[in-house]
Every structure is written in structure tokens, then in C-alpha cells.
Structure 1
């Protein structure tokens, strides 16, 4: 089963269709609701909806999902009945298989209820396919459309003194590289408010995105938030609210993060936790929003040969 623990939940919808080819007198029975076993379309609708809700039990490795809406409708044509299935959820993965399963099981139900009324060669199921999906990667990109300059500042007395290896900052650098940020400035400093303030002042004119890693907790040396927040000219409270909500589902300690985010001139500044897991979870939660910010905002600062 694919690991989706680091994927944020989002609204997702999928539509699928299938067709049952049948002779004209069988299609008339469907329209009248008078097959030998009863109303085939009403029965097939319920079968399709139930199938969507139990897809994880039918198909190996499918994730169990909360199905918030499912509907199956029918279109009677001259030689077939076309089945349309729509499934909706708010989850970390999509509902394509649920929609396809709904369309398939509805088709099988119709086939079963029509087979007493014609010979086997007159019935067939065709063209079960996915027609539409929204949500996830198809709607919320995790890749930049152009290169954006970024800077990662790691704040840690122990890392700066060479007593500990930085893993959190390096994980953020890797994430930014995969997303398409370039060039990326990486620097380690001690938990010092004045040094951090001076460094941010230097970087804001050259880098469109500045990410600090560390110093967002409640320790005596956690000075990042107190240093950064007065510098922000336009705060984006929702980014860190989303990160804390995402993290809270994975560890109760996420509630202790005091991270802030916002703009200093044209540069976006984000403050991430100092643990590798906390930093990675924060990026997983806000990355789609981060991409969207740079998709709609122009006049960005740059560094090096950034164009």
C-alpha cells in the first residue's frame, strides 16, 4: 500500500462511466423498471453507491476513504445504457478507483437483471473509464513553473558549534530543489537575534523565499519568532495555521510551534521547526499554497544568475 501519511487532505472528486449494450426490448424494460427481478436501474444505483463505499475491500492496496458523496445516474440510448458515477471525498488520496468501481458494479447489476430477458451474446459491458478527476496533484501543483531563488537559514547553537549535524535544514533544501527552487542559499547560524536580523536584511533583496529552520519552540534560546515577526510587513497567518493543523494529526507537540510567515517587501519568509520531522511536515502541509503564491505574485527578487 502506498504511504500517504505525509500528504495533506484536500477535496477530491472523480467521475467514471461504463456502458451496458443491450437489445431494444431490454432497454425498454429498464425504462419501465419492469425486469423479472424488479427495477434494474434503481437496484444498480444502490449497488454502485455501495461499491464505492467498499472499494478498499474489493481491490487490494486501495486505501479506505471517507466517502462524503456518491451518485450513480443512467443515460438510456438506442443500443445501450450509459452509467455515470461520481464520488467525492476530503482525503489524502483520490477516489478514481471508487468511481470506477461504482460504474463497474452498477453495470454488472444491470447485466445480471437483464440476462433472463435475452441471450448472452446480446449483452455486453463496454468502455469502463475514468472521465474526470480533481484534487491532489492534478489540481494543486507541487512544482514551480519557473525558477525561484530561495534561502535556508538553520538556527542552532549546537549545529553552529559543530556538535550536531544538521538534518532538518538539509531536508528543506532537498524539498526546495525537488520543487524547482534555484539557486538555493544555505547557511547555519547560532540562535542569535542580531545575526538573524542582519542576515534577513541582506537576503530579502536577493531571494524571493527565505526559510528559517529552528527557534520556533518555547525554549529559552528559541528567538526566531520574536526576531522575525516585527520585520513582517504582511503576515500570512493561514500558512502556519495549516502547518500546525497538519502536524497536530501526527504529533501533539505540533501545538507548541509558534512559527510565523509573511512578506518582507517582495520576499516571502517562513519559520519552520528545528526537527527534521517537524520541518518536513510543515513543508508537506504548505507546499501547494507556497507554489500558488509564486504563481500569482510577480516582481520577485533574485540572486546570482536567477532570471
Structure 2
């Protein structure tokens, strides 16, 4: 089983189909409702719903995800029974296996219901035809000259008493999201020095500035105080979303004072100083946050 704990929950859908070859006589019996075991159309809807919800109990590497909706459609076409199953979930991983498992079970159940009348039934095809949702659907292409600044705010790191890990983790995740032009600096927990570096990047046309450290409640934590006066458009919802993500992992997320907003054309994000806190925030926001540049440029969703 793969670890999906760092993913965010999104609406995901999957559609799978099966084709079942049956005889003309069998199709006639179906149309005349002469199948002793019942109506294959109605039974298939029940089988699809039950099977989708039971997938993780049979397939050991499938996650037990919440099934929000299952639709099943059976059509008679050119000597075939075409079965289509659609599954919806709001989860950290997709539901394609649930759709495939449900359509397969429907095909087997139809086979079972029709086999007393037809000894030549063939399940000819089972395949996934559509899948939506997840990180790949929200990826944005980053322009070639995109510039980002990562500012580590820490007295101990600035003094050389401690190695920076959070800033390096942020750079790593930015690189994974196609951002290559990254400037990296370290400052102590001093309001004026923090503000000076961030303003310098904004004035030099940086697209993104991320600070790490100084967002907590200790006497030296002053990053929000340094950044708040220079933000022209507050976007509190960004960090609230990150805190919501973090709250599922630790209750201490409530103690973070990170903020976010825009200065000119620069997006500013203030992240926690711990490596874990910085990584969790980055995983919550990227690549989704990159959509903001399309909106800022006058584009739509």
C-alpha cells in the first residue's frame, strides 16, 4: 500500500466499462423480462454500489476510501451488453480500482444471471475509460523566467549554530514543481532585516517569496509583524488552508501565525521554521497555489 498521507483530499471520479457478448435469444429474454434471477439492469446497479464499497476488502493494496456516489448503466447494443460504472470520491487517492472492480463484478453477475440461457457468453473487454482529480489535474506550467526567493529566518542558523533544513526542503519542493530560479538567504529574527530582504525581492520583480521561521509565539518570533505592513492584498485563506491541512496531522498547527498576501506582483508566504511544518505547508499548497498567477494575469479558473 502506498503512503498517501501527504496528499490533499480532492473530488475524484473514475469511469470503467465492460462488454459482454450474448446471443440474440438472450437479448430477447432480457427485453421480455424473462430472466428468472431478476432484472439485470436493476440488479447491476445494486451490485455496482456494493462492489465499489467492498473493493479494499478484496484487493489488499487498495485504500479504504469513502464512496460518495456510484452510477451504473447497462445498455444493449449490437449484440453486446455494455456496462458502464462511474465512481466518485473525495479522498487523497483515486477511485479507478473501485470503478474497475465494480464493473468487473457487474459483468460476472450478469454472466451468472444469464448462463442458464446462454452457454456462449463472453466478457470481451474491461477497461478504465476516464479518470479525474488528484494533483496531476491541478498542475500549472511555470514560466521560464519565474523567480522565487526563500528566506530562512532564524537567529541560530544565521549565527552558524544550527544547520538549515526547512529552507532546503522548500527549495527541493519548488524545484519539483518546475521552479528553477531560486534565491536563498538567511537572516536573524529581526523585523527590519526580514522586511528589507523581502522588499528587495518584491522590488526586483520576484514572482514568489517564501519565508520559513518566526511564525510562532516565542519572544523572537516576529516574521508576521515584519511582513504584514508590506502586504497590499491579504490572502488569509492560503495559510488557513495550510493550517487546515496541518490540523489533520497535529493540533499544534493552531499556534502558527503564518500569513500570506501580495505585494505588487509578488506572492508572499510565511511558513513555519520546523522542517516538518515547512514541508507540510508546501505539500498542502503546491502545485495548487501556482494557479494564482493565471488569476493575477487576468485569466480564469
For the aligned pair, the TM-score class normalised by the smaller chain equals: over 0.9
Moved more, 192-201 or 145-154: 145-154
What is aligned with 1:79? 79
1:281 aligns with 2:288: no
- Alpha-carbon displacement from aligned partner over 1:200-244 (angstroms, at most 9, x marks no partner): 111112311000001111111110011111111011111111100
TM-score (norm. length: structure 1): 0.93
Q: 2: CA distance between counterparts of 1:265 and 1:151?
A: 15
CA RMSD of aligned residues (A): 1.5
Moved more, 277-286 or 197-206: 197-206
Q: 1: CA distance between counterparts of 2:269 and 2:195?
A: 14
Q: CA deviation at 1:142?
A: 6.3
What is aligned with 2:59? 59
Residue aligned with 1:219, SS: coil
1:180 aligns with 2:184: no
What is aligned with 2:252? 253
What is aligned with 2:117? 117
Is contact 2:17-2:103 (8 Å) kept?
yes
What is aligned with 2:18? 18
- Alpha-carbon displacement from aligned partner over 1:242-293 (angstroms, at most 9, x marks no partner): 1000000000111111111110011110000001111111111111332211
Residue aligned with 1:181, SS: coil
Matches within 5 A, 1:138-217: 138-141=136-139, 144=142, 146-206=144-204, 207-217=206-216
Q: 2: CA distance between counterparts of 1:138 and 1:180?
A: 13
Residue aligned with 1:54, SS: helix
Moved more, 186-195 or 21-30: 21-30
Q: How many residues are matched? A: 297
1:97 aligns with 2:92: no
Is contact 1:233-1:265 (8 Å) kept?
yes
What is aligned with 1:30? 30
Q: 1: CA distance between counterparts of 2:20 and 2:203?
A: 63
CA, structure 1 residues 47+145, in 2 after alignment: closer, same or farther (shift >3 Å)? farther
Q: CA deviation at 1:145?
A: 5.5
1:242 aligns with 2:236: no
Q: 1: CA distance between counterparts of 2:48 and 2:141?
A: 36
CA, structure 1 residues 227+32, in 2 after alignment: closer, same or farther (shift >3 Å)? farther
Q: 1: CA distance between counterparts of 2:147 and 2:157?
A: 24
Matches within 5 A, 1:266-277: 266-277=265-276
- Alpha-carbon displacement from aligned partner over 1:164-221 (angstroms, at most 9, x marks no partner): 1111111001111111112100111100000011111111123110000011111111
Write out the 4+ residue segments of structure 1 that deviate beyond 2 Å after TM superposition.
28-34, 142-147, 294-299
Is contact 2:139-2:288 (8 Å) kept?
no
TM-score (norm. length: structure 2): 0.95
CA, structure 1 residues 143+171, in 2 after alignment: closer, same or farther (shift >3 Å)? farther
Is contact 2:177-2:287 (8 Å) kept?
no
Unaligned runs of 5+ in 2: none
Unaligned runs of 5+ in 1: 300-307
Q: 1: CA distance between counterparts of 2:112 and 2:288?
A: 48
